[in-house]
């Protein structure tokens, strides 16, 4: 029994290290973006407790930036709810695609659903080299937790820095674009299966040309989900 316990502890550390290494690019982006959020919030008169609470309980990246204007602008709850839904509508598709992956995750599942950001989704979908479902769930949970910690730390750091240092946050949101590119390149080089990536890029470009930069995100997500579902169906038929 002692040997089994030691083996499980060693395996847990191995999965934790793997999750930490995978989230390093996200850490770089989230710390910078979180600092920008904290600084902006501080300039609006909301201190470190607000930054920590919003990063802990909202944890929605771009929506937190939008929330600053909603809070300071005195909008109605209905308007805030509609804006939040529109900004985060893409997560509907993320949720649908991980239904099978998160099945059987137990007590970890509610938090994993809550913490499913764009970057976390990219990381968990890019790594399936696990011997058991339990290992995969542990990895997904730790990736979600690490990313959340990075964002929380960034927000708190930004709020504290905003009190003592002059800071121009203009253009800081480009860090999110750079982060996406980094994650995409890492996934491309770590696997021989490039069809999903090509599908995603192609669908995004097509929808960008048709709907424009302000409205292409949701149509592209619908197209990507449909295309990947079709590809998965054909793969299943072929395997059978």
Q: 147 is written with which tokens?
A: 């990313």
Q: Is 15 exposed, middle or buried (0-12, 13-18, 19+ CB in 10 A)?
A: buried
pLDDT at residue number 28: 86
What mean pLDDT is reported for the chain?
81
Percent pLDDT > 70 in the chain is: 80
The reported pLDDT for the residue numbered 237 is 44
Average pLDDT of span 199-216: 84
Condensed to tens digits (0 to 9), the pLDDT of residues 156-192 reads 999 998 888 766 656 655 655 665 676 677 667 766 7
pLDDT in tens, 139-156: 999 999 999 999 999 999
Half-sphere exposure of 89 (CA within 13 A, CB side): 14
Asked if 42 and 163 touch (Cβ cutoff 8 Å), the reply is yes
7, pLDDT greater than 80: no
Q: Containing H/E element for 228? A: helix 217-239
In 3D space, the residue among 117, 112, 132, 3 whose CA is nearest the CA of residue 61 turns out to be: 117
Q: What is Dmax (Cα atoms) for the chain?
A: 64
Q: What is the pLDDT of residues 87-108, one digit of tens each?
A: 677 777 788 888 888 998 999 9
Contact 142, 16 (CB under 8 A): yes
- pLDDT confidence of 4, banded at 50, 70, 90? very low
**Picking from 32-46, 86-100, 108-122, 127-141, which range would have the lowest pLDDT averaged per residue?**
86-100
More confident residue, 50 or 128: 50
In the chain, what are the domain boundaries? 2-172, 192-240
Question: What is the pLDDT at residue 196?
Answer: 76
Kindly list the distances between the CA atom of residue 27 and the CA atoms of 78, 154, 209, in Å, as whole numbers in the listed order.
33, 9, 32
Neighbouring C-beta atoms of residue 199, cutoff 10 Å:
17
In the block, residue with structure tokens 């990063």: 55
Whole-prediction pTM: 0.71
């Amino acid at each position: 029994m002692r040997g089994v316990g030691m083996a499980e502890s060693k395996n847990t550390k191995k999965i934790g290290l793997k999750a930490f290494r995978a989230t390093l690019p996200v850490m770089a982006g989230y710390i910078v973006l979180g600092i920008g959020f904290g600084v902006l919030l501080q300039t609006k008169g909301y201190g470190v407790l607000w930054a920590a609470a919003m990063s802990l309980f909202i944890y929605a990246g771009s929506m937190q930036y939008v929330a600053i204007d909603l809070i300071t602008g005195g909008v109605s709850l209905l308007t805030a709810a509609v804006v939040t839904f529109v900004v985060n509508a893409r997560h509907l598709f993320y949720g649908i695609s991980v239904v099978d992956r998160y099945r059987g995750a137990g007590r970890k599942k509610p938090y994993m659903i809550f913490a499913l950001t764009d970057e976390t989704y990219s990381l968990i979908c890019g790594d399936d080299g696990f011997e058991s479902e339990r290992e995969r769930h542990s990895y997904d949970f730790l990736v979600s937790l690490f990313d959340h910690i990075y964002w929380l730390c960034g927000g708190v750091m930004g709020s504290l820095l905003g009190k003592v240092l002059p800071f121009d946050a203009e253009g800081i949101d480009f860090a999110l674009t750079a982060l996406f590119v980094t994650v995409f390149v890492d996934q491309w080089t770590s696997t021989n299966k490039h069809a999903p990536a090509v599908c995603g890029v192609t669908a995004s470009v097509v929808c960008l040309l048709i709907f424009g930069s302000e409205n292409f995100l949701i149509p592209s997500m619908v197209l990507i989900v449909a295309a990947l579902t079709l590809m998965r169906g054909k793969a299943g038929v072929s395997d059978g």
